Structure 1
């Protein structure tokens, strides 16, 4: 067995100021970060313990592993201290000596000072009167008398230190869904105050995303209101804002900007006392691709990041993108939707209709014109021939379309039953026209012709 004990310096955080303490990840997040090096991680008193005997060779040995731990410190503003030992108690004791700037005794663990053993800290005065100031001197006392006088916990700790008893720990595990709660240092009355404390939760989220190899798509920040009534009005227990991204991301700076924009539009109904951040949707993380070409490494934000910030700042309905729709009708093959909404298939259409329309949408018909009219134009008739700058000659057709029967007004209104033709006009050139067929099979209604588009 081989253990590594890690501790983050509180003195360094105090010297760095409040900004460093704000960026310090939560204890749970620090444990998640350590899980990338070994599956055996636990908290023991003030130190984070890593058991690395089974995986240290994968990191190039103990010295190489210690260098990587120090270089990849998740809280760079806080100094990371580390020590090693054959047992968790020995590693923790050596870490405490390192923090106090004391030299290691020549004999380990017998020569370790007694105050570095957690199980003995409640009995230091009594053991000192017996002349015991080190682990070895206490271990030399009779087992029965030591257990009766000072309890079984001290004797069990000494057995673990000498390898006479196996260690048992509650190993940390990585949750399937990120959810962290944080008590605010003071009541927050404005959105910037919430954002100041939310940075710790975002740092924990980034560690969780990297450990899970996933990218965030949707997050929710919730705060607990400190008042139940305000100005005679009952208040909800919590308020929340949600943030969505167009693509999975692990970029902490981008998530912080999006959340800041969202909070800037929020109004706190009352002072807040707690914050909670949870992941609503995540996707597998494929990693970032790089290129040696300078034109591929442009500075500044990417397009989707700018669109996301504008959508949060201006409103989702103010930033729209076109979306292909699975529909045979030419005027309904495209729709506009908010840029932050993920593209979804037409749920209103039956599965068979969606499948057929998607198959046609994936292979657009070559005879479709490049210029479609916003609304079909009703054509005049010369007997039985439609006219547009003179009588039209039908060249190609008919292409029969029957669609729209599965939806209501939001899907385009009434069903369409049409026969499309490519026609030629002496003045306008090639046109795309259609004949509207009556709904009843044997109805004798008037046949109407429409102009749908032009060919260049």
Structure 2
């Protein structure tokens, strides 16, 4: 009996240690497929794109990674009349690595993609990764779903309606009230305030445009004479873009005890304006 056969028998019976050739996982993920024909409707790319997702999820699990943002690049004709690839970016509310979760978002996005030219290839690009955090099951689930459930709902709505149609209100670092907040896609990182502007009392209802007030007996008038009960809060800004705002804001009360946020323009002969209601 040859030495090789004896060694193989020892390995088979566990009498000798077996040395395995471990698979080396690539540091980065790259995958691409070519279509069998010129595809004119993005929805027809679902099977091929799902296959790329399956490869991607296998790589994520092997690397113990999760993904925040990835994109499918839909490649068109090459050559003299080549045009840039159509990008289908998918942003997740929280890092994920499950194929069912990502493929569901892909099914919502692809039918909404309008192709400018036939597709001949699909490439998957990784934009942002994060460490994999195992899922945990709470003993007492939150009523109405967990924060992760709500994030998945927002992801699904963004994929179905478009990121530009699922917005969240955020504060912006601007002193002028009408510019101190904005609406941005919920998938984007909220804007952080650079300083605390919440030290003053502000109304919950800000008018779209300030309403010029009448003045009677040297007092601003809105349905009845307004009595100043607090202020002023001086606000100046936007001198850098030619739209200078120089105002003194006050909290004023009407005869029926309703409170309003009004301001006086800090210019010669400045008028009174109503800007918000409490």
TM-score band, normalised by the shorter chain?
0.7 to 0.9
1:367 aligns with 2:188: no
Structure 2: any 5+ residue segments left out of the alignment? Answer: none
**Structure 2 counterpart of 1:206, from 41, 57, 69:** 57
Map of 2:186 onto structure 1? 339
The offset of 1:256, in angstroms, is 0.8
Does the aligned pair in 2 maintain the 1:325–1:335 contact within 8 Å? yes
Map of 2:150 onto structure 1? 303
1: CA distance, partners of 2:237 / 2:84: 49
Equivalent runs, 1:306-385 vs 2, <5 Å: 306-345=153-192, 355=194, 358-360=195-197, 364-365=198-199, 367-385=201-219
| Secondary structure in structure 2 of the residue aligned to 1:302 | helix
1:430 aligns with 2:259: yes
1:391 aligns with 2:228: no
Higher gyration radius (CA): 1
Looking at both structures, which has the greater relative contact order when contacts are Cα pairs under 8 Å and sequence separation is at least 6? 2
Does the aligned pair in 1 maintain the 2:170–2:191 contact within 8 Å? no
Does the aligned pair in 2 maintain the 1:227–1:271 contact within 8 Å? no
1:263 aligns with 2:142: no
Equivalent runs, 1:29-428 vs 2, <5 Å: 107-109=6-8, 172-175=24-27, 177-183=28-34, 186-187=36-37, 189=39, 190-225=41-76, 234-236=81-83, 238-266=85-113, 267=115, 269-270=117-118, 272=120, 274-295=121-142, 298=145, 302-345=149-192, 355=194, 358-360=195-197, 364-365=198-199, 367-406=201-240, 408=241, 414-428=243-257
Does the aligned pair in 1 maintain the 2:74–2:119 contact within 8 Å? no
2: CA distance, partners of 1:228 / 1:372: 55
1: CA distance, partners of 2:116 / 2:222: 62
Q: Say if 1:333 and 1:170 are closer, same or farther in 2 by CA, change over 3 A.
A: same
Q: Say if 1:295 and 1:448 are closer, same or farther in 2 by CA, change over 3 A.
A: same
TM (normalized to structure 1)? 0.50
Q: Say if 1:285 and 1:418 are closer, same or farther in 2 by CA, change over 3 A.
A: farther
2: CA distance, partners of 1:428 / 1:389: 12
Q: Say if 1:423 and 1:269 are closer, same or farther in 2 by CA, change over 3 A.
A: closer
**CA-to-partner distance for each residue in 1:1-23, whole Å, 9 max, x for gaps?**
xxxxxxxxxxxxxxxxxxxxxxx
Map of 1:19 onto structure 2? none
Does the aligned pair in 2 maintain the 1:389–1:428 contact within 8 Å? no
C-alpha RMSD over aligned residues: 3.5
Does the aligned pair in 2 maintain the 1:434–1:449 contact within 8 Å? yes
| Secondary structure in structure 2 of the residue aligned to 1:376 | strand
2: CA distance, partners of 1:260 / 1:378: 51
The offset of 1:192, in angstroms, is 4.6
Does the aligned pair in 2 maintain the 1:246–1:341 contact within 8 Å? no
Map of 2:276 onto structure 1? 453
TM (normalized to structure 2)? 0.77
Structure 1: any 5+ residue segments left out of the alignment? Answer: 1-89, 91-104, 113-161, 346-353, 439-444
Q: Say which structure is richer in helix.
A: 1
**CA-to-partner distance for each residue in 1:193-226, whole Å, 9 max, x for gaps?**
5321222321222233334444322212124446
1: CA distance, partners of 2:25 / 2:213: 71
**CA-to-partner distance for each residue in 1:330-352, whole Å, 9 max, x for gaps?**
3333212223333245xxxxxxx
1: CA distance, partners of 2:236 / 2:58: 53
2: CA distance, partners of 1:291 / 1:108: 51
